[in-house]
Amino acid sequence: MAFACPFCNRVLSNRSAYSQHVKRCSENYASSSSEEIFIQNESDIIMSEQEDNSKDNRNNEIIYISDDESRSSPRSNRINDIIQIKIDERPQNIDNVKQLLAYLPIIKAKDDTQKKSEEHKNIVRRTFHKSLKFLLSPLYNEDNGIELELNNRILWCIPRISMIISDWPEACTFSLTYKSTQSNHPCHFCLVSKENLSNINLNSNQIEPRSHKNMKLHYKNNTEKNVSIEKVRNFFWNVPDINIYAATVPDRMHHLDLGLFHYQLSFTKALILEQCGKSFIDKMNNRIKLIPHYQDLKSFSNGFLHLTLLTASEYRSLMKIMIFIVDNLYQDSKRPNFIKNNKITEIYLKWNKMYLLSRKENYEESDITRLQESINEWAKLFIELFEEYSSSKLQFPKLHSWVFHICSSIREFGAINGYTTETYESLHKDYVKKPYKLTNKKEIEKQIMKIIRRKAIIIESSSKEIPKTPIALKYSKKLYEFCIQNAEIYIQTRMNDPDLEKEMKLGFEKFLKCLDAYLDFYDKKLSEHEEIDIKFRIYSGVTLKYVEMNPDEIFEYTSDNGVCFAQVLLITEIIMNYEEPMHLALVQWYDFKSSVNPYLYECPLLEKTNIFNLIEIEAINDIIHIIPRFNIDNEFLVNKFLF
């Protein structure tokens, strides 16, 4: 008898195996399909008639190789490089579709003198490529291909290496190009000269791509120095169906997050310091402390400009808010060569548009064209503003690579999200760094493998109980409780509390009036129920699960594509002894500042109104990030740069 899984359509012959498989599948299905938002007092919210119908991206590349590490960890602390493969058709670049294949050896020198010698460096390079040959040769020894079991199907296929996922120095290790950015031809994609790295106006005739043919010719003729490659034979020259110089794809995390955005921040600081003085640097630091909190957004309570080393995640958090930090930062001057404030905001706007386009899950040719145009616009302004603040005049290989090679990589290998090292950074941390710390530093590899194996067993055997029915609302801490008979006295007492936050104080001030209007909507005057037991509970927050918007609950209001904006002042549950409890939020509405110019930096420009209402919590679609404009009263911007 055969049993088919209702989630993934896999067929199992054993009832016990079927039960365990369905349990795991249902957990994955529940976790991937569930939606929940947490709303607390002072949260900014939206009510929407629109749903996000973004499609999953399916990446069908067969094998990925990654040799990557975190920028924040010293190279000397590495024990092993990691090789991993992907043999799945599941969407996106996620942890659980990666398979650890092998550890590669690291050749250690006895001292710094030997480590810096050219002989030792060549030994390291040759060992690395011989290890790759040993590891990957079985892929090419079988002329007839292999039978691969995938999603309960047997597929005949011929495996091939698709791409190499790595940061820049490691890409040079695979391609055996010089790692130094000061070499004559530092780009591992092409033979552009060092002097032209910041020239974004090069045409295709001025950029000669590297290939196995032209690099082997220089190696054979002992002219490898002319093209900045090492005097070591590259294993990939004998591998069919791959150009190693193109397959070492640009990595967004190292190119943008840790690379070009890091430079942009540093040069912005230098420009403002030179033009305006240190007080405006302090002003930027103070502003970031005042940015409202938002889920998954890093808070910089002590500022950020004094920090010398940030993680990629922290840089991504800064991307989302920097345009609001530099908005209206300083007054323009008529001094010669003075950079106006709107130029600074423009560079961050162009960056965000470019970055958001780079995170698309699927690309049509028109999308790639838009991305290339966006990259060119940003790069042109980047060079215009910051060239004089760079000691190398912006001769960055990553700048050249991003401008000239990322779009060709997308055309050949698909969306960037499918080959970013963000996933591998977390895997390196979970499968090397953390297990290494748990060892006694003896027989390290054996201990690491045992720790990983135990972790895999625990993950496989553990399971969570699936709730039979979805929970629509789940309140957090209860702050206050009072009844209708003493509501006015209780509210007045709370409003006199000097420690009460101003938003909650405003909510209490408007509570009874809004409640009267809300009950009047249902033909239930508050005065009619003074003799009936009504209790009010005020909570600090509420979690909404599986929420669907009811468009009938939205009244006419100026909206952004069907979205209305409000700030939650109070979250309350009203319990009556004659009907079901009411789950309500008291909100203050935003409206557009101007109907003529409703957007600034492509973000809705809002003002708070004097309109207050009680709305059903289920009518809330999501929480949003609204940031007050600095030095301007009652102006707010909706952060549209969240990803």
* Structure confidence at residue 108 (pLDDT): 86
Residue that wins the pLDDT comparison between 445 and 609: 609
pLDDT at 317 over 70: yes
Angstrom distance (rounded) from CA 415 to CA 412: 9
- Give the type of residue at 639: N
Q: Looking at 110-114, 212-216, 329-333, 537-541, which range is the least confident one?
A: 537-541
Helix (H, G, I), strand (E, B) or coil at 605: strand
141-162: average pLDDT: 77
Q: In percent, how much of the chain has pLDDT > 70? A: 76
Residue that wins the pLDDT comparison between 36 and 216: 216
Residues 296 and 436 in one domain: no
* Structure confidence at residue 364 (pLDDT): 95
Residues 311 and 433 in one domain: no
Taking only the tens place, the pLDDT of each residue in 459-501 is: 666 544 444 444 457 788 888 888 888 889 999 998 888 888 8
Q: In percent, how much of the chain has pLDDT > 90? A: 42
Residues 273 and 320 in one domain: yes
Angstrom distance (rounded) from CA 514 to CA 586: 8
Residues 598 and 633 in one domain: yes
Q: List C-alpha distances in Å: 478 to 37, 39, 536, 620.
A: 18, 14, 11, 20
In a domain, 52, yes or no: no
> Residue 51's pLDDT band (boundaries 50, 70, 90)?
very low
Helix (H, G, I), strand (E, B) or coil at 16: helix
536-549: average pLDDT: 61
- Give the type of residue at 518: Y
CB 96 within 8 A of CB 459: no
Residue of 344, 314, 312, 351 whose CA lies nearest to 326: 344
> Residue 96's pLDDT band (boundaries 50, 70, 90)?
low
Residues 318 and 400 in one domain: yes
Which segments of 121-189 are extended strands (E)?
Answer: 146-150, 153-157, 161-165
Domain count of the fold of the chain? 3
66-81: average pLDDT: 37
Residues 317 and 352 in one domain: yes
Confidence (pTM): 0.78
Angstrom distance (rounded) from CA 502 to CA 455: 48
* Structure confidence at residue 10 (pLDDT): 60
In a domain, 338, yes or no: yes
> Residue 339's pLDDT band (boundaries 50, 70, 90)?
very high
Taking only the tens place, the pLDDT of each residue in 364-374 is: 999 999 999 99
Q: What is the DSSP string of 486-527?
A: GHHHHHHHHHT-TTS-HHHHHHHHHHHHHHHHHHHHTT--GG
Residues 441 and 528 in one domain: no
175-193: average pLDDT: 95
Instruction: Measure the N-to-C terminal CA separation of the chain; round to a whole number of Å.
Output: 47
pLDDT at 99 over 80: no
Residues 513 and 614 in one domain: yes
Residue-number span of the structural domain to which 576 is assigned: 478-638
Residues 605 and 577 in one domain: yes
146-151: average pLDDT: 78
Taking only the tens place, the pLDDT of each residue in 382-418 is: 999 999 999 999 999 999 999 999 999 999 999 998 8
441-456: average pLDDT: 83
Structure-token pair, residue 130: 């011989």
The dihedral region occupied by 222, where left means phi > 0, alpha psi between -120 and 50, and beta the remainder, is left
Helix (H, G, I), strand (E, B) or coil at 331: coil
Residue 401's φ and ψ, nearest 5 degrees, are -60, -45
* Boundary residue ending a domain (382, 400, 416): 416
In a domain, 107, yes or no: no
Residue that wins the pLDDT comparison between 552 and 461: 461
Residues 451 and 361 in one domain: no
* Structure confidence at residue 318 (pLDDT): 94
What is the pLDDT of the chain when averaged over all its residues?
80
Residue of 352, 336, 276, 272 whose CA lies nearest to 305: 272
Taking only the tens place, the pLDDT of each residue in 258-307 is: 999 999 999 999 999 999 999 999 999 999 999 998 888 888 888 777 77
State the alpha helices, DSSP H only, in 69-156: 112-116, 118-136, 138-141
Angstrom distance (rounded) from CA 528 to CA 526: 5
Q: List C-alpha distances in Å: 469 to 31, 76, 130, 376.
A: 14, 52, 57, 51
In a domain, 12, yes or no: no
In a domain, 226, yes or no: no
* Structure confidence at residue 461 (pLDDT): 61
CB 180 within 8 A of CB 186: yes
CA dihedral for 134, 136, 140, 145, sign (positive or negative): positive
* Structure confidence at residue 299 (pLDDT): 85
Residues 330 and 381 in one domain: yes
In a domain, 174, yes or no: no
* Structure confidence at residue 189 (pLDDT): 96
In a domain, 197, yes or no: no
Structure-token pair, residue 449: 């493998």
* Structure confidence at residue 239 (pLDDT): 87
Q: List C-alpha distances in Å: 362 to 56, 57, 242, 357.
A: 8, 6, 23, 10
In a domain, 378, yes or no: yes
Structure-token pair, residue 589: 């509405």
Residues 364 and 430 in one domain: no
pLDDT at 166 over 80: yes
